[in-house]
Structure 1
């Protein structure tokens, strides 16, 4: 098992030549997907994307695909693989976030996040297995720091990303003789994925330190192009420390997050946020 490492420059001799590699990127019209696709295409890879809402200015060809559609996903993947002529790298990037307190019953928002983040990835990957085995390819899973260190009021996102890692682990065991599987763990990057959470009054501001998109893209490229498939990769030095603590000293990270949450409540950050009413009330009752 390789240890998670922060992004760093990797000598070219330790990377595969990206020219001509056949790459499929999900969520290719979003913030991460566009940047990943553009970088790989710029290096000479042949990249096709999937997205529920392709954009006219996408840097690569993007096919429309709803990852929640059991019947539609295999059709879209087949069309993408036909354009690529096979598959060397699958980048499972598609994902959504949103407010979902653990104390409330799971509703449509929770089901939507689990269906896209976990089951959508599962559907796409299953449709790609034969092509990946044939090429002895690589799967890159865009997970999250929240797969190992949960933040409050976002239970669905954390649960979906932790389950995604469990799925990746099973996939690695089943396909590992022929296919490498790497999980990448970004922290928070400024993007529209946080908009619905902020609109609900549950902004991540103060709970997370934002990192540059470039670091995430660089780590995805390292995962896709390293000659030896890494198991886990973090995207910053801070992320590597958080990953280690969350995996080996979870009580420590629990205390850190709980203390940060208490500070946010005291500052009035969640005033007027209905979804946080229970958290606010319980913190006030403690005194």
Structure 2
């Protein structure tokens, strides 16, 4: 699972790649790199910027008709499909103790159902090319952080979907999950604006490192099941899978310390957490 630059890779030149969320920070940089290496890239995005270094088709992955039409147009432009990168995703504040509302449904619809919808539309083309599906999940798929339950739940469910897809298509299509931590991008804006920033609870990593991991997932000679993006990420992944009580304890202590220090003061959605932890920096 540890990222290795020595892993044999297929050449990017001539590979036909479809990237969702292609106009965002990560999708744009991944597409730019693949194009520079000779790949043929088409993106899908709900709001193409128009200045991406590759063609981007306007597509709403939460809508059945738009998703089907967007994928059909992309595959037509590519002349087939070798690699699908499911990169589209959103985050946002969603404490687990509160009833699910529009924010929770929005994250599940985009991160999980949208990924499912796009992938299903690509299956025939991927089977025909014996291609590859890359799921850009999250470290939170295995190590949940507080106050962001919808994001973690959607990413863990995305991994479960990838597992099922791998079992069904594995004779013809490789399926790899990539587990980045946090990259500085607008995806964190709504959480920060709600006063629920996870600064101090999640370590940021370089955009280049995450792109390297996705590049490896897309082009490795043999499909990898899971790929982490840093050495620390590999350790967290292992502990979360095999010793979850250890990572739970670390997260609980960090949350208690931040709450006691006033990190969430004034944040309405964190009122319950603050009330329970005020004055208790240790684990209860």
Quick check: TM above 0.5?
yes
- SS state at 1:50 partner: strand
- Other-structure match for 1:122: 116
What 5-or-longer segments of structure 2 have no aligned partner? none
- Other-structure match for 1:182: 176
Report the Cα distance in structure 1 between the residues aligned to 2:261 and 2:278, rounded to whole angstroms: 12
Alignment of 1:56-71 (within 5 A): 56-71=50-65
Normalised TM-score (structure 1): 0.96
Aligned with 2:74 (options 51, 61, 80): 80
Aligned with 1:255 (options 249, 258, 264): 249
- SS state at 2:250 partner: helix
2:271 is the counterpart of 1:277:
yes
- Dislocated runs of 4+, deviation >2 Å: 284-287
Superposed CA deviations along residues 55-113 of structure 1, whole A, max 9, x for unmatched, are 02112110000010012101110000000000000000000000000010100000000
Alignment of 1:131-170 (within 5 A): 131-170=125-164
Report the Cα distance in structure 2 between the residues aligned to 1:95 and 1:254, rounded to whole angstroms: 25
Cα deviation for residue 209 of structure 1 reads 1.1
Cα deviation for residue 285 of structure 1 reads 7.7
Report the Cα distance in structure 1 between the residues aligned to 2:183 and 2:279, rounded to whole angstroms: 34
CA RMSD, aligned part only?
Answer: 1.0
Superposed CA deviations along residues 119-155 of structure 1, whole A, max 9, x for unmatched, are 0000000000000000000000000000000000000
Report the Cα distance in structure 2 between the residues aligned to 1:75 and 1:87, rounded to whole angstroms: 15
2:205 is the counterpart of 1:211:
yes
- Other-structure match for 1:10: 6
Cα deviation for residue 286 of structure 1 reads 6.1
Report the Cα distance in structure 2 between the residues aligned to 1:150 and 1:227, rounded to whole angstroms: 31
Contact kept, 8 Å, 2:260 with 2:279, in 1: the verdict is no
Normalised TM-score (structure 2): 0.97
Report the Cα distance in structure 2 between the residues aligned to 1:106 and 1:206, rounded to whole angstroms: 26
- SS state at 1:15 partner: coil
Aligned with 1:235 (options 229, 232, 241): 229
Cα deviation for residue 283 of structure 1 reads 1.3
Report the Cα distance in structure 2 between the residues aligned to 1:75 and 1:208, rounded to whole angstroms: 37
Report the Cα distance in structure 2 between the residues aligned to 1:284 and 1:272, rounded to whole angstroms: 13
Cα deviation for residue 9 of structure 1 reads 1.8
Contact kept, 8 Å, 2:21 with 2:44, in 1: the verdict is yes
2:97 is the counterpart of 1:97:
no
- SS state at 1:243 partner: helix
What 5-or-longer segments of structure 1 have no aligned partner? none
- SS state at 2:64 partner: coil
The higher-RCO structure (CA 8 Å, 6+ apart) is 1
